[in-house]
Amino acid sequence: MTTQPSFVQPDEIRARFSRAMSDMYQAEVPLYGALLQLVAEINTQTMEQQPELTRHLRQTGEIERLNMERHGAIRVGTAAELATLRRLFAVMGMVPVGYYDLAPAGVPVHSTAFRAVHEASLQVSPFRVFTSLLRLELIEQPELRQQAADILAKRDIFTPRAIELIAKYETAGGLTDNEATDFITQALETFRWHSQATVSAEVYQQLHDQHRLIADVVAFKGPHINHLTPRTLNIDAVQTAMPEHHITPKAVIEGPPPRHCPILLRQTSFKALEEKVAFISTDGQRVQGHHTARFGEIEQRGAALTAKGRSLYDHLLQAAQDQLQVPANEKNAEQYKTLLCEQFSQFPDDYPTMRAEKLAFFRYFPTEKGLHISAASIQDLTLEQLISAAIIQYEPLVYEDFLPVSAAGIFQSNLGDKGQSHFTGHSSKQNFQRDLGVEVIDELQLYEETQQRSLAACAAALQLPTLSL
Ligand code: OOG
Ligand code: NI
Per residue in 153-192, pLDDT (tens digit) is: 999 999 999 999 999 999 999 999 999 999 999 999 999 9
Compute the distance between CA of residue 436 and CA of residue 428 in angstroms, rounded to an integer: 12
Give the residues across from 347 on adjacent strands.
none
| pLDDT tens-digit map of 92-147 | 999 999 999 998 888 899 999 999 999 999 999 999 999 999 999 888 889 999 99
- pLDDT category of residue 293 using cuts at 50, 70 and 90: confident
Look up the pTM and report it: 0.95
User: What's the start-to-end Cα distance of the chain, in Å?
Assistant: 52
175 and 183 in contact (C-beta within 8 Å)?
A: yes
Nearest CA to 173 among 271, 257, 91? 91
SS3 for 86-130 is HHHHHHCCCEEEEEEECHHHCCCEEEEEEECCCHHHHHHCCCEEE
pLDDT band at 327 (very low <50, low <70, confident <90, very high): confident
Distance of CA 72 from the midpoint of ligand 2 (Å): 6
- Report every protein residue that has its C-beta within 5 angstroms of ion ligand 2: 73, 229, 297
Q: Which atom of ligand 1 is nearest to the CA of 130?
A: 11
Q: What residue type is assigned to position 292 of the chain?
A: T
C-alpha to C-alpha distance for 138 and 209, rounded to whole angstroms = 14
Q: How many CA atoms lie within 13 A of 11 on its CB side?
A: 12
- Cα-to-centroid distance, 263 and ligand 1 (Å): 19
The alpha carbon of 113 and the centre of ligand 1 are apart by a number of angstroms equal to: 10
Instruction: Label residue 320 exposed, middle or buried (CB < 10 Å: 0-12, 13-18, 19+).
Output: buried
Residue-wise pLDDT for 398-454, tens only, equals 999 999 988 888 887 777 645 446 676 666 999 999 999 999 999 999 999 999 999
Please tell me if the CB atom of residue 130 comes closer than 6 angstroms to any atom of ligand 1: yes
Instruction: Name the residue at shortest CA distance from atom 9 of ligand 1.
Output: 411
Give pLDDT, residue 1: 53
Ligand 1: does its nearest atom lie under 6 Å from the Cβ of 116? no
CB half-sphere exposure, 229, CA atoms < 13 A = 27
